[in-house]
Amino acid sequence: MRWARYLVGDKETFGLVKGDRLIDVAGDPFDGYERTSTSRPLAATKLLAPVMPRTFYAAGLNYADHVREAAEKLGRSPDLPPAADIGYRAINSITGHEDPIIVPADATELLQYEGEIVVVIGKQAKHLTAETVWDCILGYTIGNDVSERTWQRGDRTMWRGKNTDTFAPMGPWIETDLDLEAAMTTVRVNGQEKITFKTTSMIFGIAEFLIRMSQYCTLYPRDVVWMGTEGKTDNMVHGDVCEIEITGIGTLRNRVQWEGK
Amino acid sequence: MRWARYLVGDKETFGLVKGDRLIDVAGDPFDGYERTSTSRPLAATKLLAPVMPRTFYAAGLNYADHVREAAEKLGRSPDLPPAADIGYRAINSITGHEDPIIVPADATELLQYEGEIVVVIGKQAKHLTAETVWDCILGYTIGNDVSERTWQRGDRTMWRGKNTDTFAPMGPWIETDLDLEAAMTTVRVNGQEKITFKTTSMIFGIAEFLIRMSQYCTLYPRDVVWMGTEGKTDNMVHGDVCEIEITGIGTLRNRVQWEGK
C-alpha cells in the first residue's frame, strides 16, 4: 500500500497510490480511514511530504564508509559510533517531493545531498523487543538530508547546517509493503548516478535503533526516523536536480534553488 | 493573560486563568478563540503541558556560570558558546505541571534539574529583526530540563540524557504579559532554595536567539524555545519535589518517581 498526502482545495488529504491514480480517503493511516469514491490523476497532483512528524528523529552517522568520509571532510578522526544513539531534526526543514531546496544566499559551496530511508511510525510503542519492533512501523519513505558542511562543522549544533527551511525533502509517499532486505538506495544528480548502496547495510539496523530508543522514549504515530546515508557526498549547485531512489519505494526528486542566483 | 490547557472529558481544552478559576474557551490562543460561559476551579483541574510544540528548541548552554559548572561536571574546559546556535529536544519528553518525573531504573544518581524560561511562539515568522521579534511571541512558561548527566556525557547525543519520557516538565501555564526584565528564576527542592538568578542574565538573549534562528528557519505557532539555566545543578532522588518559580509566571512543580524504588 502506498500512502500519499496532498491538498484538496485547502484541505490536507491522504490518498492511496494505485497505478497512475490517487484514491482519496476520509481519515488517515494513523487514526483510521475509509476509501472514498473520488480519485485523481497522480501525475497532475502536487504531493506534500507524506507525513508531518510529531518528533523528527535522525540516526546521523550510520554507514561505515560515510563515517570515514564525513570525518575526513570535517577534519576529525573517524570514530564509528559505539551505540545506536538517535539525534533530532526540526519540523520546519521538511518539504515535499518536487519542491525546491531553497539555499540561503550566504551558504557556502559545500551544499550536499544525503539519501536516506525513513521509517514512519504507525503505532504508539514503548519497550519494543525483537519480536514486537516491526509492528509499530507503518511503512517507509525517502529523505534527502541536505547538509551545508561549513555550517555543520562550524556551528555548535546542526541547526542551520541541516535544519534550514527546505533542507529535509521527504517523499514521494509511504510504502507499507517494502522488501527491506532487497532495497537498494541510489543517488543521482542531473541524471548522473553518484552512489548505489544496499539500504540495510547500516552500522545499527532499524530494529536495533527502535528497540533502544523505545526503552526510554515512547514512539508515537507520525514520528519519523531517518536512518542515515552511505559513502561520499558531493556538492550541488543552483539548478541541480537531486534524485534519491529506493527500490520498492520510488524516487524523491528536488531541484536546488540558490537564493540570489 | 494566562493560558492553561486541560482535559474536559477526553477533549483537550484551552482556558484562561482568572484568579482561582479557569474559563474554558472555544478554539485556542494560536488560531483564534472565544470565551465560553463555562468555568471551573483551577485547584481541582489537572493541567496539561500548556502547549504541545511543533518543534521543541533548546538553547542549551546560555548562562555563564552554568557553562563553567557544566564543563567541570563533564570533565571538559569551559568554552562560552560563540554564537546563538539553537538545539533540539523531543516531544515525547514533555509532561505537565504536577506530573511525576519518571526516572528509568538504570539511571545513575546524577539526575538533575535545570530551571528555564520557555518562549512560546504565537505567530509564523521568518527574517525577524530587532523591531519585529517580540511580535511573534505569544508568551512565556517554565521548563525543567531534567538531565541524567552520565548519559549526557557518555552518549553520542543527548537522546536519553535529556529526552527520556517525562524529562521535560513544562507549565503550569503561558503568561502573555510578563515583565521579562523584572523576572527572577528560583529552583527549590523539597522547599529548600537551590538557586535564584535573574531570568534574563543570558549569554544570548531571547531576541538574539529568535532573530538568528529565523534567518534560516521559519518559526511556527506552538514552537517552544527553552532558554537554558544558570549555575550549579544538584542531584535529585526518589520522592524529591522540584519547583521552578519564575516571578510573574508562577511555579512548575514535579515529584521525582524512580522506577523500582
Q: Bridge-partner residues for B88, per DSSP?
A: B57
| Range scoring the smallest mean pLDDT among A95-104, B74-83, B224-233 | B74-83
User: Nearest CA to CA, how far is A89 from chain B (Å)?
Assistant: 7
- CB–CB contacts below 8 A, A to B: 97
What is residue B68's three-state secondary structure? helix
Residue of A nearest to B218 (CA): A92
| Range scoring the smallest mean pLDDT among A40-44, A83-87, A143-147, B126-130 | A83-87
pLDDT for B232 beyond 90: no
Domains and their CATH numbers in chain B: 1-48 (2.30.30.370), 49-258 (3.90.850.10)
B76 pLDDT band (50/70/90 cuts)? confident
d(CA A99, CA A69) in angstroms, rounded, equals 28
Q: Write the secondary structure of A191-205 as one string of H (helix), E (strand) and C (coil).
A: CEEEEEEECCCCCCC
Over the stretch B139-160, which tens digit does the pLDDT of each residue have? 999 999 999 999 999 998 999 9
Instruction: Please give the grid coordinates belonging to residue A255.
Output: 531541484
User: What is the arithmetic mean of pLDDT over A100-125?
Assistant: 98
Alpha helices per DSSP H over chain A: 64-74, 149-154, 159-163, 206-213
Over the stretch B168-205, which tens digit does the pLDDT of each residue have? 999 999 999 999 999 999 999 999 999 999 999 999 99
Task: Choose from B76, B85, B101, B219 for mutation: most chain A CBs within 10 A.
Answer: B85
pLDDT for B261 beyond 80: yes
Over the stretch A168-224, which tens digit does the pLDDT of each residue have? 999 999 999 999 999 999 999 999 999 999 999 999 999 999 999 999 999 999 999
Please, what is the average pLDDT of chain A?
Answer: 95
Task: Choose from B86, B159, B162, B223 for mutation: most chain A CBs within 10 A.
Answer: B159
**Looking at the partner chain, which of A86, A157, A218 has a beta carbon nearest the beta carbon of B159?**
A86
User: What is the arithmetic mean of pLDDT over A118-139?
Assistant: 98
Torsion angles phi and psi, residue B251, rounded to 5 = -130, 130
| DSSP 8-state symbol, A85 | -
Report pTM.
Answer: 0.95
pLDDT for A101 beyond 80: yes
User: Nearest CA to CA, how far is B104 from chain A (Å)?
Assistant: 7
Alpha helices per DSSP H over chain B: 64-74, 149-154, 159-163, 206-213
* Neighbouring residues of A66: CB distance < 8 A, sequence distance ≥ 6: A228, A229, A230, A231, A232, A233
